[in-house]
Amino acid sequence: MSLDTVKHAAGTPHDAQPWAELGLKEDEYERIRVILGRRPTGAELAMYSVMWSEHCSYKSSKVHLKQFGEKAPASDALLVGIGENAGVVDVGQGYAVTFKVESHNHPSYVEPYQGAATGIGGIVRDILAMGARPVAVMDPLRFGAADHPDTRRVLPGVVAGIGGYGNCLGLPNIGGEVVFDSCYQGNPLVNALCVGVMRHEDIHLAKASGTGNKVILYGARTGGDGIGGVSVLASETFSHPSPPTTPSGDATHHPLPGPAKRPAVQVGDPFQEKLLIECTLEVFAEDLVAGIQDLGGAGLSCATSELASAGSGGMRVDLDTVPLRDASLSPEEILMSESQERMCAVVRPENVDRFLEICAKWDVIATVIGEVTEGDRLEIFWHGEQIVDVPPRTVAHEGPVYRRPLARPAWQDALQADDAAALPRPAGPEELREQVLRLTASPNQAAKTWITDQYDRYVLGNTVLAQPEDGGMIRIDEETNLGVAIATDGNGRYAKLDPYAGAQLALAESYRNVAATGARPLAVTDCLNFGSPEDPAVMWQFAEATRGLADACRTLGTPVTGGNVSLYNQTGESAIHPTPVVGVLGVIDDVSRRTPMAFRTEGQLIYLLGDTAGEFGGSAWSQVIHGHLGGLPPRVDLERERLLAEVLIAASRDGMIDAAHDLSDGGLIQAVTESCLKGGRGARLVVPEGLDAFTFLFSESAGRAVVAVPRGEEVRFTDMCRARSLPATRVGVVDGDAVEVQGQFTLPLAELREAHEHTLPALFA
């Protein structure tokens, strides 16, 4: 077969091309022809197809994501905003922190172990590419029903993949979420967050500038794995008739766990990535890098076009120089491969030798594959012939943009009218007690230790808080004790009832969780997991959620610094619940002042902060006891969230509280149970005046937390709450070896522990 060179393409305008099989729309293909003034070569078509995929181009979401910039609150803390590999936040003392959450949803369904493992690998390289040393990871995970047979296939593989990769990289896993809901059956959500630390002066950006500078590809050899991972293709479909095509998304519209899709999943080697990290940090330390980009989705197509697009010149690449695992790969496959553990650096000629020397020290393969050129073209050669000649911006940054139709679903009103307040409530103390046990044993509320014990939380020696704490906390300076806290949260049930409020509640919870540890929330990253953008109802959910999140970020003063959109999480007509997952980063000046969640000291007073109303729409109680989803989610009051956070931070700093735990799904009784079990202490609770026991225990009103106050601090603490007008109600005392709700029931800790900790091992061990 002859090579499809630029010259050949110009002379054969009528040759049929597999644009549809590559996931492109007819008008998109036509647009490529207009941009180039001819038909694209096969290699060019490959590049455009992956870069214009939903995953890379954000073509359906872009018009909505704009709001994160337009509505961004003024923040002195933001050093690098949306658009780079990850945002960068100033945390003081000359340190900058970068963090980001991404999805690896579809690959993790097709091949759970590798999908989840390479999800970690990808986000870690994004953080590394900013110039930072990665210091921790977190994993927000969502699976189908806990007792569904396919969940038994997916969950253990995902957990082993996250552990297998993250543990071997030496990054502590400090938190995340595990949620079960049958809406994720067939569309599990495997999101991964990484946080990294650097000095301000070490920030690196993805751009190629300086004519004559060399382009160095380093890391693993390029193989045939993950070809078309970001679009729809498995490797064989490039030259053979393809299966029914679908527009591209996170992976595929109708994911098939069968072997047909496996080649589109990348295979990870964490050892290689560990070497890549150390090697990259060493070349940064010697200031040898002018620009850098990791290779993730869309592989070399992405790295070369984004580097060239963001820089001032053009770029010329000799594809023959790319080290291969399989010599038979075609140029198109090399450009589309998503082989892991690769990075691309732009290096001044005088630094090339030293760069290669450091790579050799770490046994990392490094090859000069091209250089920055004058002009504004990205040119790629194969066997000396030109196969790509494109304006890089048209590939990387000027892809199609769609304003897709959106429509509030017809069922939304009926769903909201189906109020959970009308559900039958427990008839008396006996039934209340039984429901508390059922809730704490339900898969969503049960202990996640069986999962998190498969992750190393100690490595690097700076983990101050880790799961099941409200937020993970990492010390970043051993002398000054400066640290950061991170939490991720999302509640698809709330978002289904009201996507605008649901996104705000996700932010509010994450913000609250960070504040509960004693850290001051600074910035946000988000992973927006939704169904198909071609469904106007889903698009409405997406538009509402992004609007809600952007508005709430403005109110709370926490800008979105970056993140990821995952669409097409849908099987047939049934989409997942809209699931915006929000990560909040906070800073704490002295990590030794952090507030853990455990009730550890007998006699301390338990205070409930915030207001409790009868809010059960989307609640854990309505799900576990009644299998119900309807009504409205808890009311959002962002000013109250901010006030609560201020009180939690001040109380932590001034030593007024010894424990704090945020109230969210499952309500007060769930939070108290967790704090008691963690500390090995019981609690005696009194139902406050004006509330019935059921509402007190199970309501999910937002803007609340429980704290344990040493008796000597009570006056100071309540004075502070009064001065700031935050409702603080004394609801009990840390005492004994049972959770007792006076006048209602007593549950021995041993019985609670058995219920809480038995569920996951029984399902998955």
Partner 1 sequence: MTTRVGVVTFPGSLDDRDAARAVKLAGAEPVALWHGDKDLHQVDAVILPGGFSYGDYLRCGAIARFSPVMETIIAGARAGLPVLGICNGFQMLCESHLLPGALTRNDHLHFICRDQRLRVENAGTAWTADYAEGQEITVPLKNGEGGYVADEGTLDELEAEGRVVFRYLERNPNGSRRDIAGICNPAGNVVGLMPHPEHAVEALTGPTTDGLPFFTSVLKKLVSA
Nearest approach, Cβ of 631 to partner 1 (angstroms)? Answer: 40
Based on CB atoms, which residue is closest to partner 1, 15 or 453? 453
Based on CB atoms, which residue is closest to partner 1, 270 or 297? 270
CA 103 to chain centre: 6
CA distance 568 to 700: 30
Nearest approach, Cβ of 48 to partner 1 (angstroms)? Answer: 36
Based on CB atoms, which residue is closest to partner 1, 342 or 425? 342
Q: Tell me how crowded residue 454 is: count the other CB atoms within 10 A of its CB.
A: 16
Nearest approach, Cβ of 450 to partner 1 (angstroms)? Answer: 9
Q: Give the CA angle between residues 449, 105, 579 to the nearest 5°.
A: 80
Nearest approach, Cβ of 409 to partner 1 (angstroms)? Answer: 42
Based on CB atoms, which residue is closest to partner 1, 451 or 575? 451
474 forms bridges with which residues in the sheet? 463, 484
Chain residues that interact with partner 1, rule: CB under 8 A: 160, 163-164, 167-170, 269-272, 274-275, 362-363, 452-464, 475, 478, 591-592, 765
Q: Give the CA angle between residues 757, 526, 92 to the nearest 5°.
A: 95
Based on CB atoms, which residue is closest to partner 1, 138 or 436? 138
CA separation, residue 666 to residues 437, 619, 658, 705, 761 (Å): 11, 7, 22, 13, 21
Element (H, E) at 605: strand 605-609
Q: Give the CA angle between residues 384, 347, 102 to the nearest 5°.
A: 95
CA atoms within 13 Å, Cβ hemisphere of 71: 19
Helix, strand, coil shares of the chain, percent, nearest 5, are 40, 20, 40
**Diameter of the chain measured on Cα atoms:** 88
Nearest approach, Cβ of 594 to partner 1 (angstroms)? Answer: 9
Based on CB atoms, which residue is closest to partner 1, 95 or 607? 95
Nearest approach, Cβ of 163 to partner 1 (angstroms)? Answer: 5
Residue where the block lists tokens 């080697």:
269
Contact status, residue 128 vs residue 277, Cβ threshold 8 Å: yes
Contacts of 214 (CB under 8 A, 6+ apart): 346, 347, 348, 349, 352, 368, 370, 371, 372
Nearest approach, Cβ of 170 to partner 1 (angstroms)? Answer: 3
Based on CB atoms, which residue is closest to partner 1, 58 or 113? 113
Prior bond of 468 cis (ω within 30°): yes
Residue 318: closest CA among 334, 295, 302: 334
Instruction: Tell me if residue 194 falls in helix, strand or coil.
Output: strand
Element (H, E) at 716: helix 714-723
Based on CB atoms, which residue is closest to partner 1, 328 or 592? 592
CA separation, residue 440 to residues 417, 434, 551, 758 (Å): 28, 10, 34, 10
Based on CB atoms, which residue is closest to partner 1, 278 or 637? 278
Q: Give the CA angle between residues 58, 62, 64 to the nearest 5°.
A: 135
Q: Look up 397 and say whether it is catalytic.
A: no
CA distance 732 to 739: 10
CA atoms within 13 Å, Cβ hemisphere of 485: 32
Q: Look up 104 and say whether it is catalytic.
A: yes
- Which tokens in the block code for residue 581? 């997952």
Q: Write down the H helix ranges in 293-347.
A: 299-310, 331-336
Nearest approach, Cβ of 602 to partner 1 (angstroms)? Answer: 21
CA 757 to chain centre: 26
Residue where the block lists tokens 């909505």:
64
Based on CB atoms, which residue is closest to partner 1, 125 or 475? 475
CA distance 420 to 695: 12
CA distance 341 to 55: 20
Q: Given the DSSP bridges, would you call strands 95-103 and 78-80 parallel, antiparallel or unpaired?
A: unpaired
Nearest approach, Cβ of 209 to partner 1 (angstroms)? Answer: 33
Roughly how many angstroms between the first and final C-alpha of the chain, as a whole number? 53
Based on CB atoms, which residue is closest to partner 1, 26 or 363? 363
Contact status, residue 507 vs residue 556, Cβ threshold 8 Å: yes
Nearest approach, Cβ of 591 to partner 1 (angstroms)? Answer: 7
Nearest approach, Cβ of 457 to partner 1 (angstroms)? Answer: 6
Nearest approach, Cβ of 135 to partner 1 (angstroms)? Answer: 11
Based on CB atoms, which residue is closest to partner 1, 612 or 675? 675
Q: What is the 3-state secondary structure (H, E, C) of 430-482?
A: HHHHHHHHHHHHCCCCCCCHHHHCCCCCCCCCCEEECCCCCCEEEECCCCCCC
Question: What is the DSSP-derived secondary structure letter of residue 631?
Answer: S
Instruction: Tell me if residue 237 falls in helix, strand or coil.
Output: helix
Residue where the block lists tokens 């109380």:
651
Q: Give me the sign of the Cα torsion angle 163, 164, 165, 168.
A: positive
Residue 9: closest CA among 46, 41, 33: 41
Residue where the block lists tokens 């962002």:
638
Per annotation, catalytic residue among 64, 104, 253, 577: 104
Based on CB atoms, which residue is closest to partner 1, 341 or 662? 341
Per annotation, catalytic residue among 8, 14, 55, 64: 55
Nearest approach, Cβ of 168 to partner 1 (angstroms)? Answer: 5
Enumerate the active-site residues.
55, 104
